[in-house]
Amino acid sequence: MSRSVRDRAIAAAGILLVISGVLVLLVAAPVMAAAVSAIFDQCPDGSDCADARSSAAVASALAIAGLGAAVLGVAVQRSLSKNGRREATGEPVAQSSFLLRRPSVAEMAVQALLAAGLLLIASDAIGAASVDCSALPKDPFCDLWGSREGPVAGRWIYASQSTYVWSSLMLCGVFAAAILFPLGVRKPAVGIIGSLGIAATGFMILT
């Protein structure tokens, strides 16, 4: 594939990322606002609002994903524009694509740590999805879902089996985005901080 064709494909992907990210933000923002409002208006005494909390968490995760996609798309466009200006002035152009920047050793260490976390979350989600609470003896998972006592009481992700599985899958997506984030930025420090920030924010929202 020639460089010009590759650059056009990358530019088109960047534009799609920006458009899709903005659309996701426009959809997620009002849903998140409505869910948060419902939590404060309908549950002022801390009563069970699992549905509202679930909606708020999912909308927040979508908003984060949309924002990340938009930022990555803008970064791609800026990189291609800079390369274009360099070509116009005769300056050397980086041979590797902006999206394919090789992470530093420190970034790869963070990516490996996040990949291990992703595998653990994915295996936990698969295990939770395969549980049949109607069978005997009951799986320990079944005592957690819907529990109103113990350490998980009141936590929205344990409201039901489906809520737990979906929140775990959403968290897998957040960790995947965090792993890929360093490929879309120039400075290793930004890649490390961004990866850890995305993963930590998603973990706090979805757990």
DSSP 155: -
Alpha carbon distance 71, 138 (integer Å):
45
DSSP 93: -
Q: What is the pLDDT along the chain (207 residues), one digit of tens a residue?
A: 455 666 677 677 777 777 877 787 777 777 767 766 666 666 555 455 666 666 666 777 777 777 777 777 777 777 777 666 666 566 555 544 444 567 888 999 999 999 999 899 888 888 887 777 777 677 777 777 776 666 666 677 777 777 788 888 888 888 888 888 887 777 889 889 989 998 998 888 877
Q: Is 22 helix (H, G, I), strand (E, B) or coil?
A: helix
Cβ density class 133-148: b for 16+ within 10 Å, e for less: eeeeeeeebbebbeee
Domain boundaries, the chain: 1-100, 102-207
List the one residue out of 161, 169, 162 whose CA is nearest residue 125.
Answer: 169
pTM for this model (two decimals): 0.60
**Cα-flanking dihedrals φ and ψ of residue 102, to 5°?**
-75, 125
In whole angstroms, how large is the CA radius of gyration of the chain?
A: 21
Alpha carbon distance 94, 183 (integer Å):
15
Give residue 48's region: left, alpha or beta (phi > 0; psi -120 to 50).
beta
The tens digit of pLDDT for each residue in 59-102 reads 777 777 777 777 777 777 777 776 666 665 665 555 444 445 67
